[in-house]
Amino acid sequence: MEHSSSQSQVAYMKKSLVDQGYLDEQFYQLEELQDEASPNFVEEVVTLFFSDSSRLVASIEQALEKSPQDFHRLDSIMHQLKDSTLSIGALRVKNECTRFREYCDEEDLQGCQGSFQKVKREHAILKQKLEAYFQLLRQIGPAGATRPGN
C-alpha cells in the first residue's frame, strides 16, 4: 500500500518532470539500465552529472567575466556541458545550452550572458527536482525504486 502509493508518487513525479520538459526520454533509458547489479545507477549518474556540470558552469562563469571574452573557449565548455545534459536527458538545460552556443557563435556577449543565466537557473532547478526525486525513491526503498516506466 505504501509501496504502491510511493511508487505511484515516484512515477508521478517522474512523469511531471518529463512533461514539464525537465527531463526527456533519455532519462527512461537510464532507468532501464538500472538493475540488480547496479541498483543505484540512475542516482549515481545524476550525481556525477551534477558534480561535473557544476564545475563546467563555474568555469563558464569565470570565462564570461574575463574580458576580452574568449568565445571559442566558452563555446567549448558549453559543448561539454551540453553533451552531459544530453546523456542524462536534462532537456531544458540542454536547450539553454544550445542557445548559449548560438550566442557564442555570434559573439554576442549580451546574449551569452543572458543565456548563461538561464542555463544556470535551469541547472539549479533540475538539480533540486532530481534530488527530491531520489529522496522519494530512497524512501520507497529498493523495491520500488527501480521501476522504469512506472
Partner 1 sequence: MDPSRAAASTASSGRPRDGVGPPPDFPAGLRVLVVDDDPTCLKILDRMLRKCLYDVTTCTRAAAALAMLRERRGAFDVVLSDVYMPDMDGFKLLEHIGLEMDLPVIMMSADDGRDVVMKGVTHGACDYLIKPVRMEALRNIWQHVVRKRRNELKELEHSGSAEENDRQKRALEDGDNASSASEGNWKNVKRRKDGKEEEEVEEREDPSTLKKPRVVWSVDLHQQFVAAVNQLGVDKAVPKKILELMKVPRLTRENVASHLQKYRLYLRRLSVPQHEARLDTPYTGASEATFRSVGSFDGLDTQALAVSGQFPPQSLTTLHSGPRRVTTTGIGLPSIDQVGFFNSSAQMANASNIRPAMMQQMNNKQLNFLSGPSTNMESGQHGQSQQLVESYGNMGLRVGEGASGFFNLPSSQRTSTSFPGGTINVNLSNSLPMQMTQQGQQFSVCQQQNRIHISMPRQLQTREQLLNEILGEYDSRLSTPMGHQILSNEVSGHVSGRGRSNMNVRTSLREGYMNASSYGPLSHALYADFSNSGMNESTGSCYPLASGAGTTNFTSIGMLQEALPPVGNVETLGNSVSVKGANDFVPDYDLLSDVRQSKSQDWKSQNIDVSYQSAQQLGSKQSNIDFGSSRLAHEDSIAAIKDDKSRNACTVRKEIFSVRTEIEHEKGDCTAQRNGTILVENSLRVMAEGMSDLSYQEVLFDDNIIQNELMNVVGKKQQEGVGQVDPEFNFDGYSWDDIQV
Asked if 97 and 82 touch (Cβ cutoff 8 Å), the reply is: yes
- For the CB of residue 27, give the shortest distance to partner 1 in the complex, in Å: 10
- Find the binder of partner 1 among 8, 11, 13, 26 (CB under 8 A): 26
Other CB atoms within a 10 A radius of the CB of residue 10 amount to 20
Select the span of 3-11, 15-23, 43-51, 105-113 touching partner 1 (CB under 8 A): 43-51
Asked if 104 and 78 touch (Cβ cutoff 8 Å), the reply is: yes
Task: For residues 87 and 23, give the distance between their C-alpha atoms in angstroms, rounded to a whole number.
Answer: 11
Q: Tell me if 49 contacts partner 1 by CB under 8 A.
A: yes
CB nearer partner 1, residue 9 or residue 78:
78
Closest by CA to 96, choosing from 68, 124, 130, is: 124
All three cell numbers of 10:
515516484
Asked if 97 and 78 touch (Cβ cutoff 8 Å), the reply is: yes
Number of residues that bind partner 1 (CB under 8 A): 25
Select the span of 13-21, 48-56, 105-113, 124-132 touching partner 1 (CB under 8 A): 48-56
Query: Where do contacts with partner 1 occur on this chain (CB under 8 A)?
Result: 26, 29-30, 32-33, 35, 37-38, 41, 44-45, 48-49, 52-53, 76, 79-80, 82-84, 86-89
